C-alpha cells in the first residue's frame, strides 16, 4: 500500500507535536514504519487519508464496543452538543450514567467521574491512601494504570522489591512507596504483605492484563488477592478501564465473582469520548470531598458530551440480551482461527481471549507475567503487523497490546482476517 499522505502528515505533525504523536504507541516505534493517519470510521471499518480501508481491531484501544460512529451514540452526542458542551455545574446526565454503572458493576455503590482512565486510577490510589492512612501501594509488573508517576515504576531484581522509576521525571521518593511484584505470583504477594502489610494502602491490579498483551489470571489468583487484602485491611482496586464492559457487563468482577473495594473505569463508559471513573463501596467513597477529607475535583469531570455518549452506549449494552454471547462467539472464532493458522505455519504462539478482548504472543512458552511476555518474537510481530496492514487489517502496532472485537464485526470480517493472516504468514515464511 502507498501511504504517501500519511508520511507527509507525520512530517508535518513532528514540526509542532512532540514526537509527532499525542500517545507514544501511535508512533509505530515497536513495528517500524510511519503511523497511519485516519480520517473516518464506520462500524468495524476505518479509512485513512490515503484512501485505504481496514478492518479495525484496535477500536480506539477498546472503547468502541459498538463499532465506529454507532448511530445512537452519534445522535446522543449531537443532541448534547446542541445544548452546550460544558457548564461547570452538575447535570442530570451525570446521575443517569452513574446509575447505569452502579446497576451493572458489582463493586460500585458510588462513583465519581474524571476525564481519563489515568486520572481515575490516580484518584483511586489517593482515596485508598486517605481512607487507610497508609502510604505504600502494590502494583504488578506489566500492568498498566496510566501515565501517572506512581504507576511508571519498574521492578528491581527480585520477586519482592520496592520499585525504581522507569521514566525520567518520576522521583525516587514516589518509587519508594510502590512495591512491584510479578503478576500471577501468589507467593510474591504473600511475601510483600508479610514485610510491609501494615504500611500498604492498596493493591491495584488489572484483573485481566491488556497492556503487556492479553494475560489472564490463573485460576483462583484474584480470589487470593481478595483474601490477602481483606486480611491486612488493605483496599483492593480493580483497574477495569480496559476490561470493564468488555469481558462482561460487570467486567472481570462479574465474570469471576471476585468483588474489589474500588474499581476504575474508562473507555466503554464514554462511548469513544474522553472519560474515566472510579467507584466502590459507599463507605470508602464517602471520604471524598465535599463530604470527606480526600480532595477530588476536575473542571471537565462529567462533561455533558462524554456523559451522553456513555449513556447511549451503556443503554445498548444493558438492553441487548445477546450482545455478550455474540461478541464472545466472534472473538473465539477469531482466536481459534489464528491458533490454527499459526500452527499451520509452525509459528510458536500463545493465544487467549475473554469476552470481546483477545491477544496472542509469538512465544513458545505459556505467558503468565511480564517476564514470559517479553520472550515474544517482536521482530516477527512487526513483519506480521505490516503484512496484515497491506491486506486491509488494522492491528495494534505493538506485540504487547490486546485486540478488540465490536458488535459491528461480522463472521465475514473474521473470515477475511483469517485469510489475510494465512496469506501474510505465507509471505513472511517465503521471504526467510
Is 126 in a helix, a strand, or coil? helix
Residues 357 and 334: their CA atoms lie apart, in Å, by 11
Contact status, residue 307 vs residue 91, Cβ threshold 8 Å? yes
Count Cβ atoms below 10 Å from residue 31 Cβ, excluding itself: 22
Residues 269 and 276: their CA atoms lie apart, in Å, by 8
Residues 16 and 251: their CA atoms lie apart, in Å, by 39
Count Cβ atoms below 10 Å from residue 337 Cβ, excluding itself: 18
Task: Name the H helices within 37-151.
Answer: 71-83, 92-104, 117-132
Concerning whether 144 is annotated as a catalytic residue, the answer is yes
> How many residues are present in the chain?
432
Concerning whether 375 is annotated as a catalytic residue, the answer is no
Residues 401 and 394: their CA atoms lie apart, in Å, by 13
Contact status, residue 403 vs residue 58, Cβ threshold 8 Å? yes
Q: Which residue has the cell 476505518?
A: 46
C-alpha distances out from residue 56 to 38, 245, 358, 371, 372, Å: 11, 19, 13, 29, 27
Residues 321 and 407: their CA atoms lie apart, in Å, by 13
Residues 141 and 298: their CA atoms lie apart, in Å, by 29
Nearest residue to 52 (alpha-carbon basis) of 37, 33, 74: 37
Catalytic residue among 48, 139, 232, 267: 267
Catalytic residue among 144, 221, 324, 360: 144
Residues 2 and 9: their CA atoms lie apart, in Å, by 13
For residue 201 the three cell numbers come to: 494502602
Residues pairing with 43 in the sheet: 68
Q: Which residue has the cell 474515566?
A: 276
Catalytic residue among 56, 177, 239, 261: 239
Concerning whether 324 is annotated as a catalytic residue, the answer is no
Q: Which residues are catalytic?
A: 144, 239, 267
Amino acid at each position: 500500500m502507498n501511504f504517501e499522505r500519511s508520511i507527509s502528515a507525520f512530517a508535518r505533525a513532528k514540526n509542532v507535536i512532540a514526537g509527532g504523536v499525542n500517545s507514544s504507541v501511535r508512533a509505530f516505534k515497536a513495528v517500524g514504519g510511519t503511523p497511519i493517519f485516519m480520517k473516518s470510521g464506520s462500524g468495524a471499518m476505518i479509512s485513512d487519508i490515503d484512501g485505504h480501508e481496514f478492518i479495525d481491531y484496535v477500536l480506539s484501544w477498546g472503547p468502541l464496543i459498538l463499532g465506529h460512529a454507532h448511530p445512537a451514540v452519534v445522535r446522543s452526542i449531537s443532541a448534547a452538543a446542541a445544548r452546550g458542551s460544558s457548564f461547570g455545574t452538575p447535570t442530570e446526565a451525570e446521575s443517569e450514567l452513574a446509575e447505569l454503572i452502579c446497576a451493572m458493576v458489582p463493586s460500585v455503590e458510588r462513583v465519581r467521574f474524571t476525564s481519563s482512565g489515568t486520572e481515575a486510577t490516580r484518584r483511586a490510589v489517593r482515596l485508598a491512601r486517605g481512607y487507610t492512612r497508609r502510604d505504600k501501594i502494590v502494583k504488578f509488573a506489566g500492568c498498566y494504570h496510566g501515565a501517572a508517576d506512581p504507576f511508571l515504576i519498574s521492578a528491581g531484581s527480585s520477586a519482592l522489591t520496592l520499585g525504581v522509576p522507569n521514566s525520567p521525571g518520576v522521583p525516587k521518593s514516589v518509587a519508594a512507596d510502590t512495591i512491584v511484584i510479578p503478576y500471577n505470583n501468589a507467593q510474591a504477594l504473600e511475601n510483600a504483605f508479610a514485610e510491609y502489610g501494615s504500611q500498604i494502602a492498596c493493591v491495584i491490579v488489572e484483573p485481566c492484563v491488556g497492556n503487556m498483551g492479553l494475560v489472564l489470571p490463573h485460576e483462583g489468583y484474584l480470589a487470593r488477592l481478595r483474601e490477602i487484602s481483606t486480611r491486612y485491611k488493605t483496599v483492593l482496586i480493580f483497574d477495569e478501564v480496559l476490561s470493564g464492559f468488555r469481558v462482561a457487563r460487570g467486567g472481570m468482577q462479574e465474570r469471576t465473582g471476585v468483588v474489589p473495594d474500588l474499581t476504575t473505569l474508562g473507555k466503554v463508559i464514554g462511548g469513544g469520548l474522553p472519560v474515566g471513573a472510579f467507584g466502590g463501596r459507599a463507605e470508602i467513597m464517602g471520604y471524598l470531598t465535599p463530604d470527606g477529607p480526600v480532595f477530588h475535583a476536575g473542571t471537565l469531570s462529567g462533561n455533558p458530551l462524554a456523559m451522553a455518549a456513555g449513556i447511549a452506549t451503556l443503554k445498548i449494552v444493558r438492553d441487548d440480551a445477546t450482545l455478550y454471547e455474540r461478541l464472545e462467539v466472534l472473538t473465539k472464532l477469531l482466536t481459534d482461527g489464528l491458533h490454527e493458522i499459526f500452527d499451520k505455519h509452525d509459528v510458536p504462539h500463545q493465544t487467549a481471549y475473554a469476552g470481546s478482548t483477545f491477544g496472542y504472543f509469538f512465544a513458545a512458552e505459556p505467558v503468565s507475567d511480564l517476564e514470559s511476555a517479553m520472550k515474544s518474537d517482536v521482530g516477527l510481530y512487526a513483519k506480521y503487523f505490516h503484512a496484515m496492514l497491506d491486506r486491509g487489517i488494522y492491528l495494534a502496532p505493538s506485540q504487547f497490546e490486546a485486540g478488540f472485537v465490536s458488535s459491528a464485526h461480522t463472521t465475514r470480517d473474521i473470515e477475511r482476517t483469517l485469510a489475510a493472516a494465512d496469506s501474510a504468514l505465507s509471505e513472511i515464511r517465503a521471504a526467510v
